[in-house]
Each structure stands twice: as C-alpha cells, then as structure tokens.
C-alpha cells in the first residue's frame, strides 16, 4: 500500500544527516530536536501548544486525562474508526457512547449525534477519517450549546484544511478543545517508528498535558498529576523535522493521484468513489471506494491475484468486537457502519505511485467489475 523505500531514497541525505546528529549528541530522550520539531509543527498548525508524545493512542488518552472527567462521564464517538479512539475512553473508565456515521463521508452523522447528547455527556470525539474533516461548524455549535469538550482524532488528517462556513480555514486538529495526531509510518506525516502529538490553544490544558506525558512532572521529581511515560523519541523528532517540510507537497501529490483515480474509475458501475465535500480539503490518507452487490471481497481477491495490494479499513465495527461486547451494543445498532464494513476498499495511494501503476490498478478494477 506504501513505498517507504522510495520515500527514503528521496530524502536520504537529509535524513541520514539528521539521524547522525542525534547519535553523535547521544540525546536520545528529550534532545534538542524535540523542541525544534515542536516549534516547527506549532508554526505549521498555527496552534500555540504542541505536545509531542509516544504515539497517537497516547495522544488521545492524555487528552482525555487532562479534562478532569469523572468515572461514568460520557464520551461520544463512532464505531467506524481505528480501535484506539474507543480503547482509551474505556481504559480510563469513561462511558463509550457510539454514534453511527454518514454513508458517504464515513464521518460522524450530525443528526444522530444530536439525539445522543445527555446530561452525562462531557466530550464529543469526532474522527476525521481517511483524511477528510468532520463538519466541525455543527460540532462546535452542539458543543457550545451543551457545554461539551471536543477532542479531534486527527490521526489520519494531519495537514488537512477545514473550511468554516464563513470561509476561514484551520488545520484539522486545531479546531476543537484538543486535537490528536499520530506519526505511525503510514500516516500523512510518518515517522520511522511510533510517534504522536497533541494540539491545543488552551494554556491550562497545554501545560497540563505537557506534564502528563512526562509522568505528570512539572519540577524535577515533583509530581502535579498522575501521568504516563509517553515521550516522542529524539530520533523520530529528527526524522520528522526533515519530513514535515515535505508534508504539503506529499498531500498535493496524493490529491493529484486521487483526481486521476476519480477520472479513471468514474465510469465503472457498481462502485462509489470517495465523496468530496465543501467544508474540508482531503489529504487522502486513504483512497477508499465502496463496492456494491457483495462484490468487495471478490474485487479484493482479484486484485491480490494480480499483485495489487488493497486494504479493508475496517472489516468489523467497534461495537461488534469481542473486547467491547460489554458496551452493550448489538448487531443492527449502527447499520451504516456495519454496511460500510462489507463495502469499503482502500486502493494504494502514496506520492511515489506512478501513473502507469495507477492505470494498471484501474484497468484491473474495471476488468473484475465488468466481467
Ligand atoms: C492511527 C490511528 C490512531 C492511533 O495512532 P497510533 O500512533 O497508531 O497509536 C488513532 N486513531 C486513528 C483514527 C488512527 O488512524
């Protein structure tokens, strides 16, 4: 699905040098590259507080830990997401309240969300899935009306611009109370190992989260909060410092590829192309089509036999996972998410993907569907 070797070739000199600098200095924990990265990302995101951490899952957990929630407080999110989103709510003892998604954008269904807000609701946790933003104007309105926090899961949407109804733009992850992202190697800005970051404009939460990721420590060996050990590696920060400079170019390259996919696939019946919406750009973390008439797995196998990778994100929604049976949901509770799990197929998309390869992929999709 990705060409990490090809990507390395393009930035080899810069990144080798950056790694050598860290090794020479021996500052593997909290080295100067962390601060440099923090500042560069803060400028890129136009957000005052950037807290680098160990991974995107920890970013979500630390965000939830900073809000002084009580056991049993409700956090609303979606069942059609990577499991981290739900895992951290559960681990911290808050109540997971799930809301179905929209069949075209794959993101939280605002109409259904309204009905789920209760006296116990404290947080809305929207996920900007596959690189496209949730309708944040609507989320903001609901949060304001009911006095709720918003934690954005922007793990798949780093670099995506959200476009407000008044035309103003902001980066995904800087709209809610707190935003979280991941530098897992396949994400928009991928490290060469694990990494994550948290964003906020609120100084209270910003300072608190900065302490929480380092054991809740503000002054050396004095602990203000119960914390965790979740620091970004200096080596990863050094690599990310190089790669951040190319993030926008990489997104542009992926959008071009997505446009070409749209063009080549649009006449094929029985599939639906990714929907583009007017409140968000798309960074195409994934290019995800829907395949109708129960033909998704047939297509996936057909591609596989011809050496074309494709992936199903996600094959089973969270509410039907064994580990989460005690949330009390049942099959049929979230019909859109359940149906999507049987229809979605993500095709390869990365800046190094060549037009010739893309044409071969599209021809093969057509051959399978139309035969
Ligand atoms: C990748 C991902 C995460 C978790 O990030 P990690 O760095 O792998 O812990 C959380 N939410 C979503 C939607 C993701 O795609």
Q: Please report the pLDDT score of residue 8 as a whole number.
A: 86
Which residues partner with 123 through β-bridges?
Answer: 75, 149
Taking the C-alpha atoms of residue 226 and residue 42, their distance in angstroms, rounded to an integer, is: 26
Taking the C-alpha atoms of residue 258 and residue 271, their distance in angstroms, rounded to an integer, is: 15
Name the residue at shortest CA distance from atom 2 of ligand 1: 155
**Are residues 122 and 238 both part of a single domain?**
yes
**Are residues 164 and 287 both part of a single domain?**
no
Ligand 1 center–CA 192 separation, angstroms: 15
Q: Please report the pLDDT score of residue 2 as a whole number.
A: 84
Ligand 1 center–CA 82 separation, angstroms: 6
Ligand 1 center–CA 47 separation, angstroms: 21
**Are residues 265 and 224 both part of a single domain?**
no
Name the residue at shortest CA distance from atom 6 of ligand 1: 56
pLDDT tens by residue, 6-54 = 888 889 999 999 999 999 999 999 999 999 999 999 999 999 999 999 9
Average pLDDT estimate for 166-171 = 98
Residue 209 has pLDDT above 90, yes or no: yes
Domain finish residue from 209, 244, 279: 244
**Are residues 202 and 262 both part of a single domain?**
no
The pTM of this model reads: 0.98
In the structure, what pLDDT confidence band is assigned to residue 181 with cuts at 50, 70 and 90?
very high
Taking the C-alpha atoms of residue 247 and residue 7, their distance in angstroms, rounded to an integer, is: 12
**Are residues 172 and 204 both part of a single domain?**
yes
**Are residues 76 and 63 both part of a single domain?**
yes
Q: Please report the pLDDT score of residue 1 as a whole number.
A: 84
CATH of the domain at 299: 3.90.1150.10
Taking the C-alpha atoms of residue 172 and residue 319, their distance in angstroms, rounded to an integer, is: 26
CATH of the domain at 132: 3.40.640.10
CB-CB contact of 184 with 157 (8 Å): no
pLDDT tens by residue, 98-115 = 999 999 999 999 999 999
In the structure, what pLDDT confidence band is assigned to residue 4 with cuts at 50, 70 and 90?
confident
Average pLDDT estimate for 295-319 = 98
**Are residues 162 and 307 both part of a single domain?**
no
Ligand 1 atom nearest residue 195's Cα:
7
Domain finish residue from 196, 211, 244: 244
**Are residues 22 and 126 both part of a single domain?**
yes
Domain finish residue from 184, 217, 244: 244
CB-CB contact of 209 with 228 (8 Å): no
Pocket probe mutation, ligand 1, options 52, 156, 284, max atoms within 8 Å of Cβ = 156
Residue 371 has pLDDT above 90, yes or no: no
**Are residues 210 and 101 both part of a single domain?**
yes
pLDDT tens by residue, 66-95 = 999 999 999 999 999 999 999 999 999 999
Interior angle at CA 86, CA 103 and CA 254, nearest 5: 55
Q: Which two tokens stand for residue 19?
A: 């790694």
What is the pLDDT of the chain when averaged over all its residues?
A: 97
Report the number of distinct structural domains present in the chain: 2
Q: Please report the pLDDT score of residue 3 as a whole number.
A: 83
CB-CB contact of 179 with 154 (8 Å): yes
Q: Please report the pLDDT score of residue 85 as a whole number.
A: 96
Average pLDDT estimate for 201-214 = 98
Phi, psi of 152, rounded to the nearest 5 degrees: -90, 130
Average pLDDT estimate for 224-245 = 97
Q: Please report the pLDDT score of residue 78 as a whole number.
A: 98
Q: How far is CA 162 from the centre of its chain?
A: 14
Pocket probe mutation, ligand 1, options 57, 63, 90, 313, max atoms within 8 Å of Cβ = 57
**Are residues 223 and 349 both part of a single domain?**
no
**Residue keyed to tokens 């420590």:** 217
Average pLDDT estimate for 240-253 = 97
Ligand 1 atom nearest residue 184's Cα:
7
**Are residues 205 and 259 both part of a single domain?**
no
Domain residues for 110?
4-244
Residues with CB under 6 A from ligand 1: 55-57, 81-82, 84-85, 127, 153, 155-156, 182, 184, 194, 196
Q: Please report the pLDDT score of residue 5 as a whole number.
A: 85
**Are residues 19 and 150 both part of a single domain?**
yes
Ligand 1 center–CA 130 separation, angstroms: 11
């Amino acid at each position: 699905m990705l060409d990490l070797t090809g990507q390395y070739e393009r930035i080899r000199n810069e990144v080798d040098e950056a790694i050598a600098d860290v090794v020479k200095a021996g500052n593997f924990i909290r080295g100067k590259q962390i601060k440099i990265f923090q500042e560069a990302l803060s400028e890129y995101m136009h957000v005052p507080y950037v807290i680098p951490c160990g991974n995107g899952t920890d970013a979500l957990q630390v965000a939830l830990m900073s809000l002084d929630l009580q056991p049993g407080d409700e956090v609303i999110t979606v069942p059609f997401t990577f499991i981290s989103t739900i895992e951290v709510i559960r681990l911290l003892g808050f109540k997971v309240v799930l809301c179905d998604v929209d069949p075209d954008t794959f993101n939280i269904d605002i109409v259904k969300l309204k009905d789920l807000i209760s006296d116990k609701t404290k947080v809305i946790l929207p996920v900007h899935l596959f690189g496209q933003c949730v309708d944040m104007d609507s989320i903001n309105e609901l949060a304001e009306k009911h006095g709720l926090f918003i934690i954005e899961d922007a793990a798949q949407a780093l670099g995506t611009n959200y476009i407000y109804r008044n035309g103003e733009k902001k980066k995904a992850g800087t709209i809610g109370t707190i935003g979280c992202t991941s530098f897992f190697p396949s994400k928009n800005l991928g490290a060469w190992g694990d990494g994550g970051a948290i964003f906020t404009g609120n100084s209270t939460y910003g300072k608190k989260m900065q302490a929480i990721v380092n054991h809740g420590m503000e002054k050396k060996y004095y602990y203000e909060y119960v914390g965790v050990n979740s620091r970004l590696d200096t080596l990863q920060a050094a690599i990310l410092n190089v790669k951040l400079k190319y993030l926008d170019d990489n997104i542009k390259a992926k959008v071009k590829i997505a446009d070409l996919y749209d063009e080549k696939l649009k006449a094929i019946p029985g599939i639906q192309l990714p929907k583009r919406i007017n409140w968000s750009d798309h960074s195409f973390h994934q290019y995800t089509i829907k395949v109708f008439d129960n033909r998704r797995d047939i297509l996936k196998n057909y591609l596989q036999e011809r050496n074309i990778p494709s992936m199903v994100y996600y094959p089973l929604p969270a509410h039907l996972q064994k580990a989460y049976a005690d949330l009390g949901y049942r099959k049929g509770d979230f019909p859109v998410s359940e149906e999507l799990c049987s229809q979605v197929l993500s095709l390869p998309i990365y800046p190094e993907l060549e037009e010739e390869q893309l044409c071969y992929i599209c021809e093969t999709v057509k051959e399978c569907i139309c035969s």
